[in-house]
Structure 1
Amino acid sequence: MKNLCTLMILGLASLASAQADLAQSSIKGMFSRNADQITSLGDAFSEEQYNWRPAEGIRSVGESLIHVAKANYFFLMKMGFELPEGIDMMGMDGITGKANIMEAVSKSFDFTKEKITMVETDQLGDSVEMPFGEFNKMSTLLLVLEHSGEHKGQLIAYARSSGIAPPWSQ
């Protein structure tokens, strides 16, 4: 009986620990899917198509991808994470060429996936000050996820307009 109680307590403690990081691991999983699909879309465009834009004053394919990378860094920086060495968010607008853009996007995705799971559960309610309002860390993680999904949709529309089917739908 004593062993059974000990096992139950250990099992419940383990379950509680697993549940504690459920939000972070779920968001990371969904973000990873968006990241993989954005990457496959970025790879599907030709070098020349990176300059395509639907209209004057609207971001091009390449500019949209760089925007996603910059936003990933921005949101995490606002949550208190230091940018990786060598990352100059303001200088990222000067990145050109498909290979260079995709490298920058990939690095931002890797950084974001790493940092999502570093947010402690007891910190999810901590305040995060943004230029457009006050959030907590949980809502900021959801913003990271939503923002990547928003621009995945944008890139799907760009791809379809350019005669490219999203690679995962073929």
Structure 2
Amino acid sequence: MKNLLVLLVLAFPFFANAQDDVAQTGVEGMFAYASGQVEALAEAIPEDKYDWSPAEGVRSVKDAILHVASANYFFMTKLGFELPEGVDMMSLGKTEKKDDVVKILKESNTFVKEKIPMVTTASLGEKVEMPFGDFNRMSTLLLIMEHTGEHKGQLIAYARANGITPPWSE
């Protein structure tokens, strides 16, 4: 019995610590799911449709995908992470070829997925200043997830308007 008690006392910090990052784990999982669907749409839409837009002044397929990638990097820099080497935020929008656009999207998603677990639970309440208002680190993580979902919906509509069924709906 004494050994069991010692084992439980020693194991408790591991179980307690496992709960500390429940927010980050949840956001990371939901982000991985939604961003995977955005990637699937980016791959499913043919390159000849990448300049398609539903109306003048509205982002094209390509621009919407690059916007998601840029926002991923932007939000993560607001959380204090440095851009990966070789990422130039000012030149992302100049990317033309589908393969390059998809690669940029995937790299930005990987960056987010790698960094979310590095946001500590103790820091989730810290203030994050954005151009459109103040948030905390937790709401910034939720914003990343929501933003990806918003543009997933946009790309679903773009795909369907062009006769393309989202791959997970086939």
Q: TM-score, normalised by structure 1?
A: 0.97
Which stretch has the larger CA shift, 12-21 or 55-64?
12-21
Tell me, what secondary structure is at the counterpart of 1:129? strand
Taking the aligned partners of 1:96 and 1:102, their CA distance within structure 2 comes to 11
How far off is 1:9 after superposition?
2.2
SS at match of 1:86: coil
How much has 1:97 moved relative to structure 2? 1.2
Deviations 1:73-118 (A, max 9, x none): 0000011100011111121110111011001101100101000111
Q: CA shift at 1:4, angstroms?
A: 2.2
Gaps of 5+ in 2: none
Q: Matches of residues 31-70 of structure 1 in structure 2 within 5 Å?
A: 31-70=31-70
Q: Which residue of 1 aligns with 2:169?
A: 169
Residue 82 of structure 1 is matched in structure 2 by: 82
Aligned-pair CA distance for 1:141: 0.4
Helix, strand or coil: the match of 1:55?
A: coil
Q: CA deviation at 1:26?
A: 1.1
2:91 aligns to what SS in structure 1? helix
Moved more, 137-146 or 1-10: 1-10
Deviation at 1:16, TM superposition (A): 1.0
1:39-78 Cα shifts (integer Å, max 9, x gaps): 1101111111000000000000000000000000000001
Cα shift at 1:5: 1.9
Give TM-score scaled by structure 2 length.
0.97
Structure 1: which 5+ residue stretches go unaligned? none
Q: Indicate the SS of the match to 1:90.
A: coil
TM-align CA RMSD: 0.9
Instruction: Calculate percent identity across the aligned residue pairs.
Output: 55
In the TM superposition, residue 15 of structure 1 has moved relative to its aligned partner by 1.6
1:97 counterpart residue number: 97
Residue identity in the other structure for 2:137: K
